[in-house]
Amino acid sequence: MNDGAGGIAPLAAADADAAIALWHEAGLTRPWNDPARDFARALAGPASTILGLKRDGALIATVMAGDDGHRGWLYYLAVAAGARGQGHGKTMLGAAESWLAARGCPKAMLMIRNDNPVEGFYAAAGYSTEDVLVMARWLES
């Protein structure tokens, strides 16, 4: 991955601890989810990636993108507290959208938790709410 004035690049297994720490800092993790497992699964196959941005050796932004065969999904868009307000979130979002578009995804989707105040950020980037209800069921015990 590029450092200094470098750009966005796919993360590797060696970046897991830094990425997970950033996700915790950004409030994106929950006790019932295993971010280490999410990280490993995203790197395990060709239909997903985790992109990162480093400055001076430190990971300052991430986004996970995945192609489910129908739509593209975005997760874990996070920017380090000290790097916010500098356009990194928008840049990471654009990189993830480009990754999905290169794979033929016609649409990017994301879910925002009710306690995450980022709806305005995504609306400014062209995202809109959809009239859907998300339901879930755990497949593991």
* DSSP character string of 35-74: HHHHHHHHHHSTTEEEEEEEETTEEEEEEEEEE-SSSEEE
| Structural domains of the chain in order of their starting residue, each with its CATH number | 8-125 (3.40.630.30)
**pLDDT score of 1 more than 70:** no
Q: For 51, how many CA atoms within 13 A lie in the half-sphere containing its CB? A: 22
Q: What is the identity of the amino acid at 67?
A: D
pLDDT the model gives residue 114 = 87
Q: Tokens 């970046």 — which residue? A: 15
Q: Of all residues in the chain, what percent carry a pLDDT higher than 90?
A: 89
List residues bridging with 9 in a β-sheet: 52
102-138 pLDDT tens trace: 999 999 999 998 888 899 999 999 999 999 999 999 9
pTM, whole model, 2 decimals? 0.92
